[in-house]
């Protein structure tokens, strides 16, 4: 590949996001599908946020679910609106050097914060099942708030280091990013370097954001499994495991997509495949998370039920005010 220096001013460089320009005949279909997914994601996560906010007492798991919904809400807002706007034009658009770096930074930061938050939620389940008598003393409001702050701060710091490292690489003469947002593998593919040194920051970030939280989650669930196996009552074991089901499903989805996308060598990069997988973890999984927790978590179902009953009982709901809510 022909090399060229980064723009003399650096920040004056622009990237061209090719997006779905190779599928122009399906542009309208893609737009309406993504718009529907985006609106449903916003509605689902906003519903959980509102339901939890009106709860007078918030158990730790409900508090963590509220933070998870907030992350998913921001996560999809970083990617979806611009992708939808590009589909309305010609399927591709330019993005500034600073804009691309900002988008990548917040995308990785939120994804990393979610990894840490899932680890904190696994610790919550460990204390609830293995140390039930000390649960409220350990998982108090101040400690839960500290965990959330640490999760967000950790994701922000690691993402900042990765973003600085990636955007200090020399990019080739073609600044065409074959993607619909500034993703790390797509940018590394543009780097004019044949060594593996350019992949080291991503490897370090994956170690901190993926491997360490995963080991914490694995440790927590190993202790949970051993503790549950000591319960002689089968119904008691089922009840204990059921409290972890939603968290396990979300963890597998999140880590499955993240591992497939980022824990691999640069040589295996495939633009078409990456865009399809990216569509899943930027549009579908943020929608699945509130659905999974709403269907499986009694506290979330109770909070949503109370919110809807309260809203339906208000006079400004017209014909619905006299109808009781049935669930």
- Residue 116 near residue 154 (C-beta atoms within 8 A): yes
- CB neighbours of residue 183 within 10 Å: 22
Give 200-205's long-range contacts (Cβ < 8 A, gap of 24+): 201/161, 201/162, 201/165, 201/166, 202/162, 202/166, 202/262, 204/161, 204/162, 205/108, 205/112, 205/158, 205/159, 205/161, 205/162, 205/262
Identify the pLDDT of residue 118. Answer: 93
Q: What is the mean pLDDT of each run of 10 residues along the chain (327 residues)?
A: 43 78 76 90 86 77 87 89 82 84 94 94 92 90 93 94 89 80 87 72 87 93 89 76 82 85 74 82 84 70 69 54 43
- Residue 189 near residue 269 (C-beta atoms within 8 A): yes
State pTM to two decimals: 0.84
What tokens were used for 215? Answer: 């080991």
Radius of gyration for the chain, computed over Cα atoms and rounded to the nearest angstrom: 22
Identify the pLDDT of residue 313. Answer: 66
What tokens were used for 254? Answer: 């999140």
């Amino acid at each position: 590949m022909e090399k060229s220096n980064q723009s003399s001013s650096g920040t004056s460089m622009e990237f061209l996001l090719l997006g779905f320009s190779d599928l122009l005949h399906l542009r309208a279909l893609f737009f309406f599908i993504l718009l529907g997914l985006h609106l449903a994601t916003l509605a689902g996560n906003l519903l959980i946020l509102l339901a939890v906010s009106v709860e007078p007492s918030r158990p730790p798991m409900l508090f963590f679910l509220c933070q998870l919904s907030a992350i998913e809400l921001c996560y999809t807002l970083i990617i979806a609106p611009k992708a939808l706007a590009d589909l309305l034009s010609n399927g591709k658009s330019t993005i500034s050097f600073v804009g691309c770096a900002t988008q990548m930074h917040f995308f990785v930061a939120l994804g990393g914060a979610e990894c840490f938050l899932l680890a904190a939620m696994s610790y919550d389940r460990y204390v609830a099942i293995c140390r039930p008598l000390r649960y409220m003393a350990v998982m108090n409001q101040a400690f839960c708030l500290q965990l959330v702050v640490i999760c967000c701060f950790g994701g922000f710091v690691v993402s900042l280091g990765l973003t600085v490292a990636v955007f200090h690489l020399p990019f080739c003469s073609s600044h065409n990013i074959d993607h619909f947002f500034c993703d790390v593998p797509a940018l590394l593919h543009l780097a004019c370097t044949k060594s593996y040194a350019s992949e080291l920051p991503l490897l370090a970030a994956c170690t901190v954001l993926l491997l360490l939280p995963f080991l914490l989650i694995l440790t927590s669930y190993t202790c949970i499994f051993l503790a549950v196996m000591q319960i002689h009552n089968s119904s008691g074991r089922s009840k204990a495991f059921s409290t972890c089901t939603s968290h396990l499903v979300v963890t597998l989805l999140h880590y499955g997509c993240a591992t497939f996308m980022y824990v691999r060598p640069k040589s295996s990069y495939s633009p078409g495949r990456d865009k399809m997988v990216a569509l899943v973890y930027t549009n579908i999984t943020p929608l699945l998370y509130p659905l999974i927790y709403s269907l499986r978590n009694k506290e979330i179902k109770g909070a949503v039920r109370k919110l809807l009953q309260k809203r339906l009982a208000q006079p400004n709901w017209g014909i619905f005010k006299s109808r009781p809510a049935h669930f």
